[in-house]
Structures are given as C-alpha cells and as structure tokens.
C-alpha cells in the first residue's frame, strides 16, 4: 500500500469512527429526543449532561474520547508513524464535529481531542484531566474548562518538542495540538461571548428547548 493510500484509509476510517454520534444516540434511546433540539444544540458530552443527566454524560464523554483514542492509537501501531497518528486524530475530531450519519451537525470536539491527546501522551492527558476537573468544580463552567485545557495540551506538546525530552515528543504532534486549539476556540466563540456578558450557563443550569434549522 502506498503512503497516499495509507493516509486515505486512515483519514476515512478515523472520520467514520469519529462520526458516531454518541450524544444523539443516547438522546434517542433514553428520551426519544434529538439532543440537538435542546441546550447548546451540540451532541457532545456537555450538552448530554444538561439534557440527559450525569450517567449518560459519563457514557457519552467516554465514548467521545474513545473516538479519538482508538483511531489515533491504531494508526500509530499499524503504520509506526506520528504523521498517520496526527491525520487520524484530526479526522476523528472532524467526524465528531461534522458527523456524516446525522447531517454533519455534531459536537465541538473537546472529549475527542482529549482522546487523541491520550493516545499521543497519556501523562499529559491525565494532567489535563486534573486541570479540567479543578476548573469545572471551581468555576462550574464547562466551556472555560474546554477553552483552557485543549490549548494547554497543545502548549505542553510544543514545550516538550522544543526541549526534546524524548524522541517520541516531536513537532509532528504539535500539528494536532494547533488544530485542536484552533477548532475548539472557533467552536466556542458563542460561549466566549456569553462569558464576557455573564450569561454563560453553569453546570446544573436547566437546558431550554431551542429552534434548530435544518438544510
């Protein structure tokens, strides 16, 4: 198999795995609803928490993280290449955010990005989880946790590459960090505006039905 064919297989397979809409499935199975009609309109774990509760939230969060972890880990072990791993991670996040199975309207990529981080550097992943839990518990804003931890992971990857503490930490991995940071900040622009205005919902606030247009 040529390198181009390998990348094509990795990207397509990772995108299809990333497209599995765990939050949407949970909403249909548990409440018979489209979770995108409530709260933020996202299929991600945060909206699952607001709409479905803590149990479904944990299931959706782990499932979304695995959508990043499994493709990124498999790509590395199958091809022994960080390039393939980064391609898998980016494709999985794009699948989560633009899932082909439900009309390309999905989540925001935070848990899936965390899964990719775990595949690339498990100690960094655990450190980010600790920071994220502290922010979520102290401030009760999941959005703040998201827009802080994902860029923080990218910064740690860049620092490790600069310091060259290990051959496994190279600049290739920083490509995913830069992508994940850009993508998370872009998808959280409405949250950032609400945070500035003081209208961003906190953990525990009740979700409201929302009007969702389809094309």
- pLDDT tens digit sequence for 99-152: 999 999 999 999 999 999 999 999 999 999 999 999 999 988 989 999 999 999
pLDDT exceeds 50 at position 215: no
Q: What is the pLDDT of residue 40?
A: 84
Confidence bin at 13 (pLDDT 50/70/90): very high
- C-alpha 45/C-alpha 108 separation (Å) is 9
pLDDT exceeds 60 at position 164: yes
Cα distances from 47 to residues 42, 68, 93, 135, 207, in angstroms, run 6, 19, 17, 18, 8
Give mean pLDDT, residues 16-45.
94
Give mean pLDDT, residues 61-72.
97
Q: Identify whether the C-beta of residue 37 lies closer than 8 Å to the C-beta of residue 29.
A: no
Q: Collapse the DSSP code of 206 into the 3-class scheme (helix H, G, I; strand E, B; otherwise coil) and give the result.
A: coil
Extents of the domains making up the chain: 3-197
């Amino acid at each position: 198999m040529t390198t181009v064919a390998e990348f094509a297989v990795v990207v397509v397979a990772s995108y299809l795995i990333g497209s599995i809409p765990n939050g949407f499935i949970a909403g249909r199975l548990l409440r018979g609803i489209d979770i995108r009609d409530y709260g933020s309109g996202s299929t991600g774990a945060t909206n699952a928490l607001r709409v479905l509760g803590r149990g479904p939230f944990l299931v959706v969060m782990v499932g979304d993280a695995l959508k990043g972890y499994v493709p990124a880990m498999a790509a590395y072990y199958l091809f022994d290449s960080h390039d393939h791993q980064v391609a898998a991670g980016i494709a999985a996040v794009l699948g989560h955010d633009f899932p082909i199975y439900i009309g390309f309207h999905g989540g925001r990529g935070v848990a899936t990005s965390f899964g990719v981080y775990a595949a690339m550097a498990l100690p960094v992943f655990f450190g980010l989880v600790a920071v994220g839990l502290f922010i979520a518990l102290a401030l009760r804003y999941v959005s703040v946790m998201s827009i802080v931890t994902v860029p923080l992971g990218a910064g740690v990857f860049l620092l490790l590459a600069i310091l060259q503490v290990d051959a496994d930490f190279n600049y290739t991995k920083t490509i995913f960090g830069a992508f994940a940071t850009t993508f998370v900040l872009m998808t959280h622009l409405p949250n950032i505006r609400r945070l500035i205005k003081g209208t961003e919902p906190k953990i525990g606030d009740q979700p409201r039905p929302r009007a969702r247009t389809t094309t």
